[in-house]
Structure formats: C-alpha cells, structure tokens
Structure 1
Amino acid sequence: MAKSKIIYSCIECGYKTTKWVGKCPQCGSWSSLEEEEELPKEVRKAISNNQVGSKKVLEFQNVNYTNEDRYKTEYEEFDRLLGGGLLKGEVVLITGNPGIGKSTLLLQVINSYKKYGEVLYISGEESAEQIKNRGDRLKISGEGIYLMSEMDILSIYEYVVENKPKVVVVDSIQTLYNSAIDSISGTPTQIRECTLKIVEIAKKHNISFFIVGHITKDGKVAGPKLLEHMVDAVFNFEGEEGLYYRILRSTKNRFGSTNEIAVFSMEENGMKEIKNSSEYFLSEREEKNIGSMVVPILEGSKVFLLEVQSLITDCTIGIPKRVVQGYDRNRIQILTAIAEKKMYIP
C-alpha cells in the first residue's frame, strides 16, 4: 500500500505545496500554511466511494418547504439569530474562547429540541458523567437526551444514520478523527474529512447539527478555512474577561441575516437571554451623569443604547494625551477633528 506524503496547505485559500513557505503565493497570507498528510490515491478513492449516495434529482417547483421545518427553542433571541429557528438538516458552527459558555448554552438549547424527538450530545472532551453533572447544575431533565463520548467519526456516522436523532451536538470538531485516515485528530485533513461526513449526514437524512469549534490566539477558527465554507451558519461567542454578559454574533447564515447579535448573561443556573439589552447595559447609570451620554448603536436589525463616558483633566506635560477605551482610537481622532473644525469645540 502506498504511503501518504506530507504537504503544506494554506488555511485561507487552500493552496497546496510540497515545501513550506512563509507567504502563500496564491493569496499572499503570511504564516497560513499548515502541515497535513496527502492520502494515497486508493484511500481517497475508498473514501469517495463510501460517500456516494443516491443521486436523486428534484424539480425546483416540486420542492416543498414550510416554517414547520424549523425547530424552535424557549430562547427567542437564539431563534432570531438562526433566522426563525433551526432548519432541518442545517449545520451550525459555534466558536469562542475556552470557558466562555459554548457547551453550557448548547446543553440548554437541546433541552428545548427534545420535544421534537431524540437529541444526541457527542463529546470528545468530556465523559458522560461530566456532562450529566453540568446538566444537573443547569436543572436539565435527561429524558430524550442521549450522551455519547466518542471521537471516531465512523462510529458516530453508524449510530446517527441508524437511530436518526433530530438534533446532534458535536463538541468539538477538533477532537474527532476518521480511523480510515492515518493522522491524529485536530489536523486540517481530519477536520476537513470529519466535517464532510457530518454535512453528508445532515443533508442526506435531514438531521440538524451544532458543531463546536476551537479558535486560535488570533481569534480565527482552528483548522482549514474550508470548515467555515462547508457549514450553513457560523456563530461566534464573545465576552470580556470578568464580565457576566456574552454576545453571540452571526458572521455567516445561509438561512437568516448576518451580523445579527444576541446577548446572554452568565448566571448561576446557566445562560439567560437578555431581551432588553439596552436596559441591561444602562441599569447602573445615573440619570444626571456629567461627562456621559447615551448613544444608539445599530447591530444587525437591533438598536442598542450604550453609554459613552468622557473625562477631561489638566495636563502637566507639554503635549496632552488622548486615551480611548472600547472604541476605535483613529475614529475618535476624526470625530474630534470634525467637532473642532465645524462645531468650534476646542
């Protein structure tokens, strides 16, 4: 049997080369080439034959679709972010920093989906006992929820196709591997092949998937850029260290609006959605607060009221210094220049 060889693939554009280079010749990205194994021709052919399904062609006007094809939860903000609910056969990628609450939110969400049928939570990072312990803390009843601590995508494929749950959570895609491929989990090859298998199951059997993805120190999804292209929606979980609120931002959504955000609060009993986010952010603001003002900010289709504070003090050095926190410093420079030029405010 032929041996696999090492190649270098650009995570931004997919360019491949046998030698590592600092700058991708195709897209110009720096340090974007990652090492991966190129599978032998017979292995690629075997995988391709395994993925071939029934070639069923449908006429466009004969395809039926109704809103009943969407699964809804008790979290209105989460459903709004999805475009009105989770579509059957949809694959959603959720990313975020470690410990920000991705697994907690998904465990709460699938507790709502179990009314539509069996839901499956697959974890390659935690045991079933650990997940059950977190579920008890979140006061989640286990009826209709099934746990699976498995990392081999072929075993997962076999179980899901046989039992056909309505919704499946994969936590996380970087821990999965395909035993037919001779490489460790987390490599670009394994992430790509495992995601292809998941997309195949979702589209072929109308099973919805949530995939948890790790991010790098640069804030990008770990693995090939192809991962974000293969899924139907990409949600980023954001939050400042030391603060209780979390922001779930939609950066890609084939079945809804992009750049939409939903605000959650990390409580003792899990994630709580914040419907009136303006009231939440301004709850501790005094009515007469000198040096601050409330401004409307448009994010997606929602308007948020946020407080902007300013502090001016005498400067002992020759050249005054302007410091900005929570806003783009260059934009502040432009706004202050306009205020001085047009409004005659020094």
Structure 2
Amino acid sequence: MAKQKTAFVCTECGSDYSKWQGQCSDCGAWNTVSELRLGPAGGRRGTAAGAGNRAGFAGARPEAKLLAEIATEAVARIGSGAGEFDRVLGGGLVPGSAILVGGSPGAGKSTLLLQTLCHLARGRPCLYITGEESLQQVALRARRLGLPMDQLRLMAETNVESILAALGSDRPDVVVVDSIQVVHSDDIASAPGSVSQVRECAAALTRYAKQSGTVLLLVGHVTKDGSLAGPKVLEHMIDCSILLEGSDDSRFRTLRGQKNRFGAVNELGIFAMTDGGLREVKNPSAIFLDRSEEASSGSAVMVVWEGTRPLLVEIQALVDDSALGNPRRVAVGLEQNRLAMLLAVLHRHGGLHVGDQDVFANVVGGVKVLETSADLALLLAIVSSFRDHPLPRDLVIFGEVGLSGEIRPVPSGQERLAEAAKHGFRRAIVPKANAPKSAIPGMEVVPVRKLQEALAAFS
C-alpha cells in the first residue's frame, strides 16, 4: 500500500509543521496544532484534494496577462430576494463566489438559506444539500414557513465526491451545503469535522464553484467564543464570510459581513424571527429607538455607522455607589478597555470623579458598537446617571473623545445628522469639524471642540 502522508496544521493560522508541538510558532496560539492526514501518495486523480486537476484553481490553465488586457466588465449579481441579505453581500450573489454563513445553533442559518433558495428556484436551477437534517425535516420546515416547494431540488449527502458528481450532472446556479463540518472525503482518513476534512472538502467545493460559475453557500458552525469553527485557512479560501447573530431572549437577528471581496465589510443586516421565518427589517433605527415614554437619567441616543448606512441606537449608563474595594466596570456591546479609558478622560478633563462608583454601560437591542463615534454619547450618559439629570429626548450625540479631552470628528457626519433629523430629533451635539455648512431645517446643532464644552451644553 502507498504510504499515507501526515502533516501537522495550526487550526488558527493554517501553518504547517513536520511534527506536533504545543504552541504555534507563527500565531502564538496554544494547543491548536493538530494532525492532518493527507491522501495516499499514489491516490486517485480527481479526488477531493484535486491531486489530478491540472486546470488551475479558477478553472483555466495559468497564463500571464497584462493588467490592461484583463476584462473588467461588471458582473451581473443575483438578487437573493431579501434586501438586507443583499446589502451584507454587497448587492447580491456573485456567480462563481464561495460564501460562508456562520452562526450559533438556532440563529436561523438554515432558515435564511432555505428561504433564499426557494425564492431563487422559481427562476433558476438551485440545489440544497443537507447533511445534518433529513429531507423530511427540511420539507417540514419549508411547509411550516409557507415557502414555494415545487421548484427547489433537495439532496441528503455528506460525501464530497458524491456531491461533486451531483453538481456536475444537475449544473445548478446556486447550491447550499449545510454544513461543511459534516462533509467528508473518502481519501482522507479522519473524522468529519476535523481540520483535514474541512479544509480539503471546502477546497474541492470552492474549486468547483470557480470553474463552473456556481454560487456556493457553505453553512459553518461557531465555537464557544463566537468565532467560526474549523481551520483558519477556511476563511482565506472563501470570498465572503458572514455571521448571523442573535440572543436567545430576542427575536431580532443581525447579519454582519466579516470578509467580502465584492463589497464593504462590517455591513449590517437586521432580521426579525417570526412564525413565517426571517423577515427583513427595513428601518432598524425605529426598533432600537423604542424608548419609554418618560425621560430617564443615564440614557442617550447616538448615531453609529454600520457598513454603508447610519443607525440610531440608544446607549444606557448606570453609576452607583460601590461596596467593593475595586469598583466594577461592565460594558455590554462596547469595548471594556475603552470604557475605562473614557472614565479617566472624564476625571482629568471633565472634573467628574467616579473612581469609587460602579459603572455599567449597555447598548440597547444587542447591537455591538465597534467604532469610536459612541465616545461622547457614552460619557454624557454616564454624567446623566451620576447627576440623576435626564438628557432631552430629542437630543442625539456622536463624536470621538481623545485623551487630551478634545472632541474629534467622525466619518459621514452629514449623513448621521440627516438620519437623526428624519427620525424627529431636533438637537444634536457633534464635533466642531462635523458641523453642517448649512443649517438643517428643524434641528439645532451644537458643535463642540472640548469635553468641557459638551458638558456645558448638556447642563
């Protein structure tokens, strides 16, 4: 028998080693190097690893060309039927692209993709490959959601060679593999879901998508810390990586792009989980601004920029006497280290000492704020809670706070103010550099340069 090759691969960065070691020398992660069993040295041609495929990864023999000779015509995208899904993808599905859809169990990955394929199957051939559920389970879900069932083709299979054979005969335009963690190859002697199986099966499916122009949608699992399971090299193979998130106590789901070769990253789509499946939310700001009728201290409205659009969300702060020697600093939806830094700026340049107070900060609605435009709104919410003085309900705030107490401008200030005015806000505290050149009808804009000016405008 031909000797089987063995390698050791880091699941975080994909680095190869000749023998096992406890720590990866490249990324520094511990206990991430695992054994990778390759196919036999004299294995069959055309296997999942593509040992006999000499046509190249994209389906053509490699040939050098001048950059000016390469055609750059716009590729016609395929609409998924959901505007929020198309927004995250950058405008729709691109033929020949490989898309990885991740999320925690129960987030709605299978529901979203089943809805998408049932919509697309009415105008083009589509194939849904399920490896975790039976055909009856998928059909029951489609019937429960009221989806059209007379055009979509289903197949239950986990062997990648059988999947590639079915794709070659059916020639679908869009295919879903649910999920990549259960797909395996006969040429690799390891269990489904292992590093070697996930990497080689994903490479084989991606190669087929590039060669045939088929849209490939892969469903991926996530680990306990929320990152995509499997080898890190899997995220480098695909063209687009999106994550569907949602808490158990909320019916809203957020679809966020983490990598996209055909559009903007960190684009956000909002869906609502209903009895009829996932329904897109066309005006998410109205959901996150569902505030109480009475004004309360510690609450402020800010405008964050998600992908290509502004989003109005409410931020809340609670400052209370601490019974501990080391007061707590808790941030939900915000970066905890940035909260501690802003509290130091507030003490030094705002004259407000909260070193003996517990400080809790929360972004309402489960939104994760990743940009610095929330700094000023967070500080004013903290001051409002500490002084027990509510902020005006028609006030919107945004701006970055520097270590010297200056208020720095943020991108797309005009668009943020326009979005706030559209939702009925009449006052705004913004950085001086973001002040509009012409007055906004019905809105009073207060430009500030320093933190002291913002505190004075608030009081």
TM-score, length basis structure 1: 0.91
Looking at structure 2, the residues matched to 248 and 322 of structure 1 have their Cα atoms a distance apart, in angstroms, of 31
- The equivalent position to 2:185 in structure 1, one of 178, 181, 193, is 178
Kindly indicate whether residue 217 of structure 2 is the aligned counterpart of residue 215 of structure 1. Answer: no
Kindly indicate whether residue 31 of structure 2 is the aligned counterpart of residue 24 of structure 1. Answer: no
Looking at structure 2, the residues matched to 165 and 259 of structure 1 have their Cα atoms a distance apart, in angstroms, of 30
Looking at structure 1, the residues matched to 191 and 330 of structure 2 have their Cα atoms a distance apart, in angstroms, of 45
Tell me which residue corresponds to 1:245.
Answer: 252
Looking at structure 1, the residues matched to 112 and 18 of structure 2 have their Cα atoms a distance apart, in angstroms, of 42
Q: Larger deviation: 169-178 or 19-28?
A: 19-28
Q: Which amino acid aligns with 1:125?
A: E
- The equivalent position to 1:107 in structure 2, one of 105, 108, 114, is 114
Looking at structure 2, the residues matched to 32 and 236 of structure 1 have their Cα atoms a distance apart, in angstroms, of 23
Cα shift at 1:287: 5.6
Does the CA contact (< 8 Å) of 1:161 and 1:205 recur in 2?
Answer: no
Tell me which residue corresponds to 1:15.
Answer: 15
Looking at structure 2, the residues matched to 156 and 168 of structure 1 have their Cα atoms a distance apart, in angstroms, of 10
Looking at structure 2, the residues matched to 279 and 135 of structure 1 have their Cα atoms a distance apart, in angstroms, of 30
Kindly indicate whether residue 93 of structure 2 is the aligned counterpart of residue 91 of structure 1. Answer: no
Q: Which amino acid aligns with 1:293?
A: A
Deviation string for 1:116-141 (max 9, x for gaps)? 31111001101110000011111111
Kindly indicate whether residue 161 of structure 2 is the aligned counterpart of residue 159 of structure 1. Answer: no
Q: Larger deviation: 171-180 or 1-10?
A: 1-10
Looking at structure 2, the residues matched to 46 and 86 of structure 1 have their Cα atoms a distance apart, in angstroms, of 28
Bigger CA radius of gyration: 2
Looking at structure 2, the residues matched to 154 and 21 of structure 1 have their Cα atoms a distance apart, in angstroms, of 33
Q: Larger deviation: 173-182 or 6-15?
A: 6-15
Does the CA contact (< 8 Å) of 1:86 and 1:208 recur in 2?
Answer: yes
Q: Which amino acid aligns with 1:52?
A: R
Q: Which amino acid aligns with 2:71?
A: V
Does the CA contact (< 8 Å) of 2:40 and 2:187 recur in 1?
Answer: no
Structure 1: segments with no counterpart, 5+ residues? none
Does the CA contact (< 8 Å) of 2:117 and 2:126 recur in 1?
Answer: yes
Tell me which residue corresponds to 2:327.
Answer: 321
Matches within 5 A, 1:29-48: 29-43=29-43, 47=47, 48=50
Looking at structure 2, the residues matched to 278 and 120 of structure 1 have their Cα atoms a distance apart, in angstroms, of 36
Deviation string for 1:117-174 (max 9, x for gaps)? 1111001101110000011111111122010000111111111112111100000001
Cα shift at 1:44: 7.5
Q: Which amino acid aligns with 2:53?
A: Q
Tell me which residue corresponds to 2:269.
Answer: 262
Does the CA contact (< 8 Å) of 1:11 and 1:223 recur in 2?
Answer: yes
Q: Larger deviation: 42-51 or 164-173?
A: 42-51
Does the CA contact (< 8 Å) of 2:45 and 2:53 recur in 1?
Answer: no
Q: Which amino acid aligns with 2:23?
A: K
Higher relative contact order (CA 8 A, sep 6+): 1
User: SS at 1:335's partner residue?
Assistant: helix
Q: How many residues align?
A: 344
Q: Which amino acid aligns with 1:63?
A: A
Looking at structure 1, the residues matched to 319 and 32 of structure 2 have their Cα atoms a distance apart, in angstroms, of 44
Q: CA RMSD in A?
A: 2.3
Looking at structure 2, the residues matched to 199 and 13 of structure 1 have their Cα atoms a distance apart, in angstroms, of 19
Tell me which residue corresponds to 1:193.
Answer: 200
Deviation string for 1:291-321 (max 9, x for gaps)? 2111112222222211122233445x47573
Kindly indicate whether residue 144 of structure 2 is the aligned counterpart of residue 118 of structure 1. Answer: no
Sequence identity of aligned pairs in percent?
38
User: SS at 1:70's partner residue?
Assistant: coil
Does the CA contact (< 8 Å) of 1:116 and 1:166 recur in 2?
Answer: no
User: SS at 2:264's partner residue?
Assistant: coil
Q: Which amino acid aligns with 1:152?
A: N
Kindly indicate whether residue 213 of structure 2 is the aligned counterpart of residue 206 of structure 1. Answer: yes
Tell me which residue corresponds to 2:54.
Answer: 52
- The equivalent position to 1:138 in structure 2, one of 119, 128, 145, is 145
Structure 2: segments with no counterpart, 5+ residues? 354-459
Q: Larger deviation: 215-224 or 227-236?
A: 215-224
Q: Which amino acid aligns with 2:240?
A: A
Kindly indicate whether residue 83 of structure 2 is the aligned counterpart of residue 76 of structure 1. Answer: yes
Tell me which residue corresponds to 2:71.
Answer: 63
